[in-house]
């Protein structure tokens, strides 16, 4: 009898955890809304039930156990940088940096926020380097406005390559040519609460992404296009119940999503409705299944072409929209969708989900694995497969980041790093930054994130593979890009520790490879390592020194090996 009660208790716990995502289950059905690039798999960077009433209750209990923390640290900084080309003509550049910024970490009973914002002005001194300025930052926050109702937001400001060949850090060193400024924000409410024995969830998210080109694409560089700006709206709702009166759990959900892209008047519109069931078959195992209807349409206008039929671009390398031409379909599907899978949760620290299904007229595979060894160590893997775009991927990527993390920056140029790590886990935006194309795409890939504190060290690892197949009208003037496959491989490692009460050290390394499938386009590979040391000199005054080595290679161009060094002072208020 006791064994039966124990088994029933485990099965009840498993079922509750399986259905804990009632509020986010509908949200995850959107094409490309995993937070890691597409599909309906849980994001590698998101807690398993972050949007659920059960997940929220656990998070609230954890915050009550923790002390209230409000750390807001504004600062002023001055630095001297030397950058040398170690492989080419041996040019040496020097410049002075003046920066103002703020790092923040807030944890209260109803609010969580983590972020870093920095404005930097560079004064060129030698090597023909001119003056320039940049704004960079990453912010993610959540406010519990009422029971079950949360207001969430996130923002990113960084720089990327203007030709769309990935967010390689080497473009931020030296003269910074071929760069673009990227800004992306998202905000919206989410609701998750148990009402009358039912789990009710709903939400809305608005996203905006913009790229400003500093320098036009370099002569001889072939690019697909250069993203301009877009807005997107996502709304979803769901209702369901855990096993109890019925031997299985159930959920009915639906939603709508739209994105409007400035360039080529591109539009994405998708809607879905579906029903899901969860059937526990053992103390740690359950079967998952769902069926529904989905309607997705992607369309755009043609670019202006010259007398030879070649698309015309503006001074920033963007296509010029031909408003006199009718809209053409890039992708159109509607009909039955389904998926089936299994979830295994042997204990509260580990969970594995795997699904196979039918969407977009094709077979899809998604899954996730999470393991939390202790309060400071977590490992997450997400497999995704769906439809996405650069801007929608940025919004969902920001939404999947934890609300508590330790923001890290390149120690020499101050740019925000693509991966973040903390006690809640971590997340990476490296796949979203892989290519700033305007085209919508079918998106498949995998991402793994490890975040831990061990032996006095804080460290994190983010790695992944992202595959995109571009979707464009078959009769368009740029139809040669339809079906093009881009692949992005990336790895980022960060480690740091406090040496004594007044000093600490930080180590970073990254590697990336971007395989561009466009006709005549070049593949790009890069890697870099850096080390930084800082020491508190007096009250809020800190001195720091850093060095980095970056290698960059693009087919058809001379490879580069750049060494950089920095010494500086920071005063924190």
CATH number assigned to the domain comprising residue 78: 2.40.170
| 272 Cα distance to chain centroid | 24
Sign of the Cα pseudo-torsion (189, 136, 164, 553, in order): negative
Least confident segment among 63-77, 115-129, 238-252: 63-77
Contact (CB, 8 A) for 372 and 351:
no
Tokens 């650069």: give the residue.
390
Q: Is the pLDDT of residue 208 over 90?
A: yes
Give the chain's domain count: 1
> Which of 170, 95, 80 lies closest to 127, judged by CA?
95
- Structure tokens belonging to residue 67: 């002390």
Q: Which domain holds residue 427?
A: 2-572
- Higher per-residue confidence, 3 vs 405: 405
Residue 59 sits at φ, ψ, to 5 deg, of -65, -40
Could you tell me which residues are beta bridge partners of residue 267?
260, 299
- Structure tokens belonging to residue 487: 């692949």
- Higher per-residue confidence, 60 vs 505: 505
Res 237: pLDDT: 97
- Structure tokens belonging to residue 308: 């030879």
| 228 Cα distance to chain centroid | 19
60-112 pLDDT per residue, tens: 545 554 557 889 999 999 999 999 988 877 788 899 999 999 999 999 999 99
Res 424: pLDDT: 79
DSSP state of 432: G
Average pLDDT over residues 159-164: 71
Q: What is the pTM for the complete model shown?
A: 0.86
> Mean pLDDT score of the chain, rounded to an integer?
85
Q: Which range is most confident: 267-276, 310-319, 373-382, 415-424? A: 267-276
Could you tell me which residues are beta bridge partners of residue 428?
419
Report the chain's C-alpha Rg in angstroms.
Answer: 24
Residues in the chain: 573
> Which of 306, 300, 293 lies closest to 326, judged by CA?
300
């Amino acid at each position: 009898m006791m064994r039966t009660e124990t088994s029933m208790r485990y099965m009840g716990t498993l079922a509750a955890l399986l259905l804990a995502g009632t509020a986010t289950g509908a949200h995850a059905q959107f094409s490309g809304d995993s937070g890691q690039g597409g599909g309906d798999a849980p994001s590698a960077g998101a807690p398993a039930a972050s949007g659920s009433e059960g997940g929220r209750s656990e998070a609230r209990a954890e915050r009550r156990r923790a002390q209230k923390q409000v750390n807001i640290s504004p600062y002023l900084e001055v630095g001297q940088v030397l950058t040398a080309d170690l492989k080419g003509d041996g040019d040496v550049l020097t410049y002075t940096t003046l920066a103002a910024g703020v790092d923040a970490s807030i944890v209260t009973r109803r609010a969580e926020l983590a972020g870093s914002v920095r404005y930097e002005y560079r004064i060129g001194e030698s090597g023909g380097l001119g003056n320039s300025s940049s704004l960079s930052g990453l912010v993610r926050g959540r406010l519990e406005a009422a029971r079950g109702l949360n207001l969430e937001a996130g923002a990113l400001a960084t720089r990327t390559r203007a030709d769309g060949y990935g967010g390689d850090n080497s473009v931020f060193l030296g003269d910074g040519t071929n760069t673009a400024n990227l800004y992306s924000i998202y905000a919206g409410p989410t609701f998750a609460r148990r009402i009358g024995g039912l789990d009710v969830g709903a939400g809305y998210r608005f996203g905006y992404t913009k790229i400003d080109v500093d320098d036009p694409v370099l002569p001889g560089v072939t690019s697909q296009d250069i993203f301009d700006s877009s807005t997107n709206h996502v709304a979803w709702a769901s209702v369901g119940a855990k096993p109890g009166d019925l031997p299985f759990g159930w959920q009915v959900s639906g939603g709508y999503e739209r994105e409007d892209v400035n360039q080529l008047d591109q539009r994405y519109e998708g809607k879905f409705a579906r029903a899901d069931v969860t059937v526990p078959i053992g103390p740690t195992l359950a079967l998952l299944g769902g069926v529904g209807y989905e309607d997705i349409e992607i369309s755009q206008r043609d670019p202006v072409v010259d007398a030879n039929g070649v698309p015309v671009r503006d001074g920033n390398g963007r296509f010029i929209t031909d408003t006199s031409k009718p809209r053409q379909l890039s992708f159109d599907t509607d009909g039955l969708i389904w998926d089936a899978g299994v979830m295994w949760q042997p204990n509260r620290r580990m969970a594995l989900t795997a699904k196979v299904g039918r969407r977009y007229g094709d077979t899809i595979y998604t899954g996730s694995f999470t393991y939390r060894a202790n309060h400071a160590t977590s490992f997450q893997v997400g497999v995704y497969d769906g439809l996405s775009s650069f801007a929608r991927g940025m919004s969902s990527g920001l939404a999947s980041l934890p609300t508590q993390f330790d923001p890290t920056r390149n120690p020499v140029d101050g740019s925000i790093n693509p991966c973040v790590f903390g006690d809640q886990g971590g997340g990476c935006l490296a796949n979203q930054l892989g290519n700033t194309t305007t085209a919508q795409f079918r998106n498949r890939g995998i991402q793994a994130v490890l975040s831990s504190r061990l032996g006095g060290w804080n460290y994190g690892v983010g790695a992944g593979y992202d595959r995109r197949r571009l979707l464009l009208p078959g009769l368009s003037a740029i139809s040669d890009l339809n079906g093009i496959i881009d692949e992005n491989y990336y790895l980022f490692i960060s480690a740091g520790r406090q040496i004594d009460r007044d000093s600490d050290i930080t180590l970073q390394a990254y590697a990336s490879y971007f395989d561009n499938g466009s006709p005549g386009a070049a593949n790009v590979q890069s890697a870099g390592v850096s080390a930084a040391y800082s020491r508190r000199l007096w009250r809020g005054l800190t001195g720091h020194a850093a060095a980095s080595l970056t290698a960059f290679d693009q087919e058809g161009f001379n490879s580069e090996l750049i060494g950089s060094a920095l010494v500086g002072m920071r005063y924190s208020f």
